[in-house]
Chain A
C-alpha cells in the first residue's frame, strides 16, 4: 500500500466506513434488549460521526461551504425540535425523519442521473437500474411519510377515498415504472422530472386511503423502504457503508413491519390495499344504551374492588393522564388492592409506545402485562378501567364478520365484572367504528377528560375514607 496522501485518505475513509458499519450493526443488536438499548444508540451515533468526518477527508474540500451549510440547515432545527417534542408525538416524528432520509436518497438518485446526462457518461445498466429503483423507493417513502406525519399529527383528515381509487393508483404506479424503464434505456431531463413527480405522487396516493389505526405499520414499512433506497443509492455512489447499513435497516424494518402487522392481525397487503374503516356497524345495530356514571359512584366501585385492571390507550397519553392515573393506582395499592396495566400490542400509536409512556409516569414494569397474559385475568377482575382506549377493546372484532376490525385480537375487557370507561364524549374510535362494549350492561361511561377524571376518582376515594364509606 502506498503511503502518499492521495491513497492514504481514501483508505482511511474506507476503514472508517467499515468501523461505522460494524458499530451500526452492534448498535441495532444492542437496541433489541432493554438492558443494553441505551448503549446501542450511543454506539450507532459514534459510527455516524466517524463516517461523516471520514467523508470530509475524501471529498477534498470541494463545495465545502455548501456541505457545511446544508448540514447545519439539516441538523440544527431537527435537533432542537426532537429535543422538545412530547413523547406522545414521537411516532409522527419518526415518520418525518424517515421521510427526510427517503428524500435524501431520492436526491442522490436525481443528482446522479442529472450528472450522467450533463457529462454524457454511460454508466453500467446495473448502476442505472439501482439509481432509478432507489430514487423511486426513496421518493415514495418521502411523500408517503409526510402524509403519515400529517395524519398522525392531526393536520389532515383521517382517510381520503374515491371510487376506483385502487385502479387509479395502480395506473399511476405502472406509469411511473414505465418512465423508470425508459430512463434506464435513455436518460433525458424531462423524463427525469416526470419520473420524480410521479414517484412522489405514488407515495401520496398509496398513503391517503390508509386509516390512522394502520399508520404504525405503514411508518415501519416506509422505514424499511428508506433503508432499501439508501442501500441502492449506496451502490450507485460506491460507498459500502450505505449498502450495509441500508440493507440491514431494510431487512430489519421488513421484519419489524411483519411483527407489527401480525400483532394487529392485519396482513400487510390488507393494510395497503383494502379500504379500512368506514362501513361496519352503525349504532342502531347494537342493542342497549350507553350508561353514564358519576365519579363518586365510580370511586365506590373501586373502593369495593379487590382487583383492578387499567386499560390505557392513546387517548390517555393525549390527555397526559398517565401521571394522575398512576397516582390513583398508588392509592388503590396502599389499600391492598391488586393493580395491573393491560397493554394491547398496538396501544398508543406503535407497539411499545404505551410502555414508554407508562415508564415516563413511573409505573414499574412488573405491573405492565401484555395482552395474551392478561386476557384470562379479566374474568377474575372486579373493575376494569378503560381510559382512552377504544378499538382495542371492541368485542365487535370477535363477533361481527362485516366489521373492518374483525379478526383483530382484542383485550377481553367485556369479561370483567364491572367496566368503567373514561371518555371525553360519545363517538367512535380512531377507526371510526361503534364500540359494542360501551352498550353492555356491566359497562358504565365516565364522561370526562382523562386527567380530570383520574383526579376526581382520587379525591372521591379519599372522601369515602373520610366519611366512613358510602
Chain B
C-alpha cells in the first residue's frame, strides 16, 4: 500500500525528474517530445486493465472496457506518430 507521505515523495520526485530531463531540449524536438510524452502517459492502459479485471457489475465492465480501449488507443497511436516523426530526423542525418 502506497500511502500518505510515501505517495507524496513519489509524486514530488517524479515531478522534479520530469522537469529536469527535458530542461535542455532544443526547439526542433519540441513536437516529437510532446508526442513522445503523450505516448508515455498511455501507461494509463495498465490502470484501466486492472480496473476492468476487477469489475463485476455490467456498468463497471462497460466503463472499464471504454477505459482500456481509450488507453490502448493513446499508447498505440502515440507510439506510431512519434516514431514516424523521429524517423524524419534519422533520414535527414545521413545526407
| A interface with B by C-beta (< 8 Å) | 17, 20, 24-25, 27-29, 31-34, 37-38, 40-42, 44-45, 48, 51-52, 55-56, 58-60, 62-63, 66-67, 69-71, 73-75, 77-79, 81-83, 85, 87, 90-91, 93-94, 96-98, 100-101, 103-105, 107-108, 110-112, 114-115, 118, 124, 126, 219-220, 223, 226-227, 229-231, 233-235, 237-256, 259-260, 263, 345, 348, 350-353, 355-356, 359-360, 362-365, 370
Contacts and interface: CB of A to CB of B under 8 A. Distances in A.
Interface string B64-76: 1111111111111
A456 to B, nearest CB: 27
- Interface majority SS (helix, strand, loop, mixed), chain B: helix
A32 B14 contact: no
A82 B35 contact: no
B17 A41 contact: no
B41 A249 contact: yes
A41 B69 CA distance: 22
A107 B77 contact: no
A325 to B, nearest CB: 16
A32 B36 CA distance: 10
Contact of B54 (A81, A103, A115, A229): A115
B68 A28 contact: no
B86 A37 contact: yes
18 contacts: A27-B40, A32-B22, A32-B24, A41-B83, A51-B43, A51-B46, A66-B61, A71-B49, A73-B72, A74-B68, A75-B75, A82-B84, A83-B84, A97-B73, A101-B44, A229-B44, A247-B10, A252-B33
B12 to A, nearest CB: 8
Contact of B74 (A97, A219, A360, A362): A97
Contact of A111 (B2, B55, B71, B73): B55
Contact of A103 (B3, B4, B26, B70): B70
Contact of B51 (A41, A108, A243): A108
B28 A255 contact: no
B71 A238 contact: no
Interface residues on B, range: 35 or more
Contacts of B93: 34
Nearest to A234: B47
Given A90-B84, A111-B52, 4 more contacts: A38-B86, A82-B80, A126-B7, A352-B31
Contact of A255 (B19, B78, B81): B19
B27 A370 contact: yes
Contacts of B57: 114-115, 118
Contacts of A242: 43-44, 46-47
A87 B88 contact: yes
B73 A352 contact: no
A338 B51 CA distance: 60
Given A44-B40, A82-B77, A101-B70, A28 B33 contact: yes
Nearest to B74: A101
Which 6 A/B pairs are nearest by Cβ-Cβ distance? A74-B72, A251-B18, A107-B67, A82-B80, A247-B14, A78-B77
Contacts of B60: 111, 114-115, 118
Contacts of B30: 256, 259-260, 350-352
Contact of A55 (B31, B50, B65, B67): B50
Contact of A359 (B72, B80, B92): B92
A243 B10 contact: yes
A439 B46 CA distance: 57
Contacts of B74: 74, 97-98, 100-101, 104
Contact of A93 (B10, B18, B22, B81): B81
B4 A126 contact: yes
B86 A41 contact: yes
Contact of A71 (B32, B38, B72): B72
Contacts of A58: 50
A248 B77 contact: no
B17 to A, nearest CB: 5
A67 B49 contact: yes
A153 to B, nearest CB: 14
A226 B41 contact: yes
A356 B53 contact: no
